[in-house]
A and B are shown apart, each in its own frame.
Chain A
């Protein structure tokens, strides 16, 4: 029998949540998703897509649209399937804009490259600056669109409603494999997983559900299936997915192996391929000197402080990313936090994996951080621990990898414009003057000034091979603006770094299949400007490399422009006979090298699924003795690659975006109980394509007799606008029915009215919000009634920079301070003020242990104010739930949170059952509620232990055991302990 009261109360609860001031701020706390920019959306209609873009990024949208149509053609023929609806494709020119999207309510982290959401079938993708990466993500998401459609079709055609689909490792793996194939990054991860012993078999893939490792393993598995069983088997796995409830059986049907059988074959194959690598190569930690040992540590920058060697670097060691410093060569000293990240508006993100740091000889650190609507470049004095300068540029949204000039006056960095174009810039620190060095769509990164200040080395996809997405190294000649090749070939070369004497460049490259450090000698960089603007091409003649200077007829000027795209010709900065040598032979990966002196390097090494900074010595000897030597040859061509655009190739029509709403969610519930009668209702949610405007509708009827049917209709309509920085909500409602108050027992209530709410975020971490509500209210108690027009106003200030663990916050702080007033403007039957404050702070005791504290006060002062209820697992623990009440309340919680079990697996004859992490807690709570009727006579307390378990990804189950006590006579306190142990089982996140 369905509990009709529960159904009704649930509907009412949803209704109240919708109409309360928190409708759009999502939670009582929570961070803010801020719309900094007012995008003027347009739609480019192509054959299969509606491409949403803003005018500033028109060219990028056309390029993306062309890539999307290519992806469609490729996947249509590969899967023998098409998409019968038009696909909404929403582009952003950079990741900061992408983080503002309202197409999904979730916060979007740095690591999210794009997504395909199921409600409206939208594909939402940011550009990172690299055309190849943009193409990769477009292809990846389109694989999702096609595979989901094909899978769904299989079930629908056979009238099967259970849509188990395919497991996430497979859908992500196939998306990655069919968009990227096999790449060096995937190779690095799988090698490390095998050698470090954390590779997860397919049969246990739920252990790493949703993680980056799962993506890479999925990609590796799809590659293995394609190479060993045939590419068509991947297609057949999709076509056979409906045949069995478990994907292991689908694999058995398709390739003849279930999960366990597949694991044996796959893992054996990996062993055979990867273990022999240790014959000739080494794990980084075995052959280099340790500098850091815990967390993720990247982007080292060497500097001298008081004559000693130091390193600044970015790291995430405890949950928040910070900038650290640590002396080199002092093993026992822990890194010191220099700049705290992810907690304040100035330092929202340091881009741990993307942006380098640099420190000049005067001890000034320069780094990039996200700060509000765009990235900012900081100059920070290490000795005084102060920010000395902060630069942000109205036209540049994303910045990365700043580097000081030798004279410490200028900083070079990569910048991306509002339109998404990535280029190199220099900033004169004293004046703030910005100069653009390059001006094209090529992705220029990792600039580093040469010690003589004459050139800047950088990594870019502007070479002939860039169309395949690879980057080579280039030199920018400061005086003339000439750009020349340092390296050239179908490999990824990046993070160039000059030795202090300017004689060598070390860089990372995947020339041998994974990322190692390579080095060039500088006998070539004293180049003279070429008189005849010739292209230097080398040819092999009986094994000797012969320079062959070729003249081209007036075509070699640097900046010819065709269709707005610059055609650059890049002579070589290296003589053909020059050698590029591999100076490390790691089995996994090395990057972000930085010279300490002319014979020592520090770099970031990948091993054990983490990045650690390591030291490498005897560089010159390593170079001299290196086995692997290559000679790059500049490929001569007049046309460096240009991406296709949709304009002029496929019919495309551009129209201005107009909001069109369609249904997101519709649900209903009807129940009948012979005692309580019938109730039933429906909820609808609608939004526009960009998710900026939403409508919520609630309609239900709670009549208990047929005569009441017409007057028992209740509704709530709310419109939420998220399209601007100020989020607003406006609504109308009628809520009536019988309610229950623990103090006043049953009462009938009718409320008809409306409300307006607004929320203004100051930053990601804090906001102010307020609401005004006006309603006609009638309330009938047993012994009294209230009838009037009630106006309620409130204003709140919220801050939240917490870091979350498995069952609740583990670091940071959050608080909510609210002031409100409620008044019966008709009869003055109701008039009270409300003051609430809820402050919570979390102190990290160790990486996995936290001390959490909450101080909460709630006060209602005046006529007919409502009572607060307390008691139970959510506030004053071990007391009966909601059995303590009063118009004033205070609460103090103290809790130490620690891990108990990371994973529990129970084995049964028929299989196993696994549970996620169990967390423990030890707590002491104090609190009390009182008013004129229920006096404050004692402070209630409890003390005990608790266990929490996250279940099913969203539900946290809680169990507490302990004792309750009271503190009497506060002038002369004494503690009275209640007898016996109290226990409580409930659900809910930690406070």
Chain B
């Protein structure tokens, strides 16, 4: 009997040890406050994917900390309540304290996570593959999934707002899911694959597809409002501002399209394909880069060129506008900060690897990542000196 009890205790100990070692993304409630303007809870910082932050972050910046992930990082980070959530291409999701750079939690999924998560209402919406389920809502306080659903193969960023969860799946459908239950509310089939993430404004969700078509759907029922053809695949995510959609295409053209009826407002021809999403400032300038390293600022109402800037290689991230500064990354391994007014270079930082992950802002922290698995956090130099 004594032997039996001993073995039971040993087994129990092993069981507990195993589970206590299991990685978890349980987040301390102190991190789970209401989303504010200082957060960057989803790709583009808003359902319109404006890539704009009201926070003013003036260069020069200094590197506060560096975190090494287990593998390369997906192209988008999100930051909320002092935590940056980084998905890695070997299937992990790391939660990192922004102030210290320490990892506070991690989960491991079955497959590479090619996209970002979205933070909403204290929960995290994760796109990955959990068996056959590819979209999940996780309660960060309890580290438990509230629901998981099969949403198809997704290589784009989820869009979460009060109305629901919108995802564009590779194999030709864009879907809306119920926030609470994960039930599919509607699905719209497109002609070609989707590598562009949806953007939303008012009651219209917009997405681009591989055959160059831009779709505008009614958010309520997924019916088609209009669609418009361009001459090249749309891999970037449309952004929406002031009744206009702005999107770049692989046909080397940047388009401005009327949100209501899909008519072309203007277009701007670059010489090289545009892979990345744009950003817009509150002053009405739109910013984007092409794959030859040229970065553009255009007037959003007319498409008139304000200025251009040349990096040494392809502009490989969507830009981020913070006040009057625009930040972006390039395959030349640099983060850049330019004046949004005149394109003057104000700061750059050279990493050891190519930059493929878009920058995000949380308070006065700027966070980005490079291809060689590093996540960087920057703060304005002046503030660091004072501290």
Taken residue by residue from 145 to 166, chain B's Cβ proximity to chain A (1 for < 8 Å, 0 otherwise) reads as 0000000010000000000000
Instruction: Judge whether B58 is part of the interface by a CB distance below 8 angstroms.
Output: no
Say whether A230 contacts B291, CB under 8 Å. Answer: no
Contacting residue for A80 out of B70, B71, B112, B314, CB 8 A: B314
Instruction: Judge whether A627 is part of the interface by a CB distance below 8 angstroms.
Output: no
Taken residue by residue from 275 to 305, chain B's Cβ proximity to chain A (1 for < 8 Å, 0 otherwise) reads as 1000000000000001110000000000000
Query: What B residues does A76 contact at CB under 8 A?
Result: 291-292, 313-314, 331
Contacting residue for A84 out of B90, B171, B291, B333, CB 8 A: B333
Measured between alpha carbons, how far is A752 from B153 in the docked complex, in Å? 64
Measured between alpha carbons, how far is A236 from B171 in the docked complex, in Å? 13
Taken residue by residue from 735 to 753, chain A's Cβ proximity to chain B (1 for < 8 Å, 0 otherwise) reads as 0000000000000000000
Instruction: Judge whether B198 is part of the interface by a CB distance below 8 angstroms.
Output: no
Interface residues of A in 147-176 (CB under 8 A from B): 153, 156-159
Taken residue by residue from 73 to 111, chain A's Cβ proximity to chain B (1 for < 8 Å, 0 otherwise) reads as 100111011101000000000000000000000000000
Say whether A158 contacts B72, CB under 8 Å. Answer: yes
Q: How far is the CB of A151 from chain B (nearest CB, A)?
A: 14
Query: What B residues does A256 contact at CB under 8 A?
Result: 171
Instruction: Judge whether A232 is part of the interface by a CB distance below 8 angstroms.
Output: yes
Query: What A residues does B316 contact at CB under 8 A?
Result: 80
Query: What B residues does A82 contact at CB under 8 A?
Result: 313-314, 331-332, 354
Measured between alpha carbons, how far is A232 from B236 in the docked complex, in Å? 13
Supposing A82-B313, A158-B90 touch, asked if A77 and B71 sit within 8 A by C-beta, the answer is no
Interface centre among A73, A77, A82, A232, by most chain B C-beta atoms within 10 angstroms, is A77
Say whether B211 contacts A158, CB under 8 Å. Answer: no
Say whether A232 contacts B210, CB under 8 Å. Answer: yes
Say whether B292 contacts A73, CB under 8 Å. Answer: yes
Query: What B residues does A84 contact at CB under 8 A?
Result: 333, 353-354
Instruction: Judge whether B272 is part of the interface by a CB distance below 8 angstroms.
Output: yes
Supposing A80-B316, A157-B89 touch, asked if A232 and B291 sit within 8 A by C-beta, the answer is no
Query: What A residues does B195 contact at CB under 8 A?
Result: 236
Measured between alpha carbons, how far is A233 from B153 in the docked complex, in Å? 17
Query: What A residues does B272 contact at CB under 8 A?
Result: 77
Say whether A232 contacts B233, CB under 8 Å. Answer: yes
Q: How far is the CB of B214 from chain A (nearest CB, A)?
A: 15
Contacting residue for A159 out of B70, B193, B233, B332, CB 8 A: B70
Instruction: Judge whether B328 is part of the interface by a CB distance below 8 angstroms.
Output: no
Measured between alpha carbons, how far is A281 from B19 in the docked complex, in Å? 75
Contacting residue for A157 out of B71, B170, B211, B331, CB 8 A: B71
Query: What B residues does A232 contact at CB under 8 A?
Result: 210, 232-233, 235, 250
Interface residues on A, range: 20 to 34
Taken residue by residue from 220 to 249, chain A's Cβ proximity to chain B (1 for < 8 Å, 0 otherwise) reads as 000000000011110010000000000000
Measured between alpha carbons, how far is A84 from B232 in the docked complex, in Å? 28
Instruction: Judge whether B371 is part of the interface by a CB distance below 8 angstroms.
Output: yes
Interface majority SS (helix, strand, loop, mixed), chain B: loop
Say whether A77 contacts B90, CB under 8 Å. Answer: no
Measured between alpha carbons, how far is A77 from B275 in the docked complex, in Å? 9
Query: What B residues does A156 contact at CB under 8 A?
Result: 72
Q: How far is the CB of B88 from chain A (nearest CB, A)?
A: 9
Query: What A residues does B250 contact at CB under 8 A?
Result: 231-232
Query: What B residues does A158 contact at CB under 8 A?
Result: 71-72, 89-90, 112
Q: How far is the CB of B384 from chain A (nearest CB, A)?
A: 30
Measured between alpha carbons, how far is A237 from B364 in the docked complex, in Å? 40
Query: What A residues does B70 contact at CB under 8 A?
Result: 159
Say whether A77 contacts B273, CB under 8 Å. Answer: yes
Measured between alpha carbons, how far is A81 from B371 in the docked complex, in Å? 12
Query: What A residues does B313 contact at CB under 8 A?
Result: 76, 82
Contacting residue for B273 out of A80, A153, A157, A159, CB 8 A: A80
Interface residues of B in 80-105 (CB under 8 A from A): 89-90
Q: How far is the CB of A330 from chain B (nearest CB, A)?
A: 61
Measured between alpha carbons, how far is A231 from B275 in the docked complex, in Å? 14
Q: How far is the CB of A70 from chain B (nearest CB, A)?
A: 12
Say whether A80 contacts B89, CB under 8 Å. Answer: no
Q: How far is the CB of A249 from chain B (nearest CB, A)?
A: 13
Instruction: Judge whether B324 is part of the interface by a CB distance below 8 angstroms.
Output: no
Contacting residue for A230 out of B153, B233, B275, B290, CB 8 A: B233
Interface centre among B211, B273, B290, by most chain A C-beta atoms within 10 angstroms, is B273
Q: How far is the CB of A317 from chain B (nearest CB, A)?
A: 50
Measured between alpha carbons, how far is A159 from B195 in the docked complex, in Å? 23
Say whether A159 contacts B71, CB under 8 Å. Answer: yes
Supposing A157-B72, A158-B71, A232-B250 touch, asked if A77 and B290 sit within 8 A by C-beta, the answer is yes
Measured between alpha carbons, how far is A156 from B373 in the docked complex, in Å? 11
Say whether B72 contacts A77, CB under 8 Å. Answer: no
Say whether A230 contacts B192, CB under 8 Å. Answer: yes
Say whether B314 contacts A159, CB under 8 Å. Answer: no
Query: What A residues does B211 contact at CB under 8 A?
Result: 230
Q: How far is the CB of B78 from chain A (nearest CB, A)?
A: 20
Query: What B residues does A80 contact at CB under 8 A?
Result: 273, 275, 291, 314, 316, 331
Contacting residue for A81 out of B210, B233, B331, B353, CB 8 A: B331
Query: What A residues does B90 contact at CB under 8 A?
Result: 158-159
Measured between alpha carbons, how far is A864 from B141 in the docked complex, in Å? 85
Query: What A residues does B233 contact at CB under 8 A?
Result: 230-232
Query: What B residues does A253 contact at CB under 8 A?
Result: 153, 170
Taken residue by residue from 60 to 89, chain B's Cβ proximity to chain A (1 for < 8 Å, 0 otherwise) reads as 000000000011100000000000000001
Measured between alpha carbons, how far is A230 from B235 in the docked complex, in Å? 13
Interface residues of B in 178-222 (CB under 8 A from A): 192-193, 195, 210-211
Interface residues of A in 123-167 (CB under 8 A from B): 153, 156-159
Query: What A residues does B89 contact at CB under 8 A?
Result: 157-159
Query: What A residues does B71 contact at CB under 8 A?
Result: 157-159
Measured between alpha carbons, how far is A117 from B232 in the docked complex, in Å? 34
Measured between alpha carbons, how far is A851 from B273 in the docked complex, in Å? 61
Say whether B354 contacts A77, CB under 8 Å. Answer: no
- Chain B residue at minimum C-beta to C-beta distance from A232: B233
Contacting residue for A77 out of B171, B192, B314, B332, CB 8 A: B314
Measured between alpha carbons, how far is A233 from B233 in the docked complex, in Å? 9
Interface residues of A in 235-274 (CB under 8 A from B): 236, 253, 256
Measured between alpha carbons, how far is A253 from B152 in the docked complex, in Å? 12
Query: What B residues does A81 contact at CB under 8 A?
Result: 314, 331
Measured between alpha carbons, how far is A231 from B292 in the docked complex, in Å? 18
Q: How far is the CB of A72 from chain B (nearest CB, A)?
A: 10
- Chain A residue at minimum C-beta to C-beta distance from B313: A82
Query: What A residues does B275 contact at CB under 8 A?
Result: 80
Query: What A residues does B292 contact at CB under 8 A?
Result: 73, 76-77
- Chain B residue at minimum C-beta to C-beta distance from A154: B89
Q: How far is the CB of B244 from chain A (nearest CB, A)?
A: 25
Measured between alpha carbons, how far is A77 from B274 in the docked complex, in Å? 9
Query: What B residues does A73 contact at CB under 8 A?
Result: 292
- Chain A residue at minimum C-beta to C-beta distance from B290: A77
Taken residue by residue from 199 to 236, chain A's Cβ proximity to chain B (1 for < 8 Å, 0 otherwise) reads as 00000000000000000000000000000001111001
Q: How far is the CB of A229 from chain B (nearest CB, A)?
A: 8
Query: What A residues does B232 contact at CB under 8 A?
Result: 231-232
Query: What B residues does A233 contact at CB under 8 A?
Result: 210
- Chain A residue at minimum C-beta to C-beta distance from B112: A158
Q: How far is the CB of B105 from chain A (nearest CB, A)?
A: 21
Measured between alpha carbons, how far is A73 from B235 in the docked complex, in Å? 20
- 18 CB < 8 A contacts A-B: A76-B314, A76-B331, A77-B292, A80-B273, A80-B275, A80-B291, A80-B331, A81-B331, A82-B331, A84-B333, A157-B71, A158-B71, A158-B89, A159-B90, A230-B192, A230-B233, A231-B233, A253-B153
Q: Which 10 A-B pairs have the closest CB atoms?
A: A157-B72, A77-B291, A232-B233, A77-B272, A82-B331, A159-B90, A158-B89, A157-B89, A77-B292, A82-B313
In the complex, given contacts A80-B331, A230-B233, what are 12 additional A-B residue pairs having Cβ atoms less than 8 angstroms apart? A76-B314, A77-B273, A77-B292, A78-B273, A81-B314, A82-B332, A156-B72, A157-B371, A230-B211, A231-B232, A236-B193, A253-B153
Please give the residue numbers on chain B whose beta carbons come within 8 Å of chain A beta carbons, in ascending order: 70-72, 89-90, 112, 153, 170-171, 192-193, 195, 210-211, 232-233, 235, 250, 272-273, 275, 290-292, 313-314, 316, 331-333, 353-354, 371
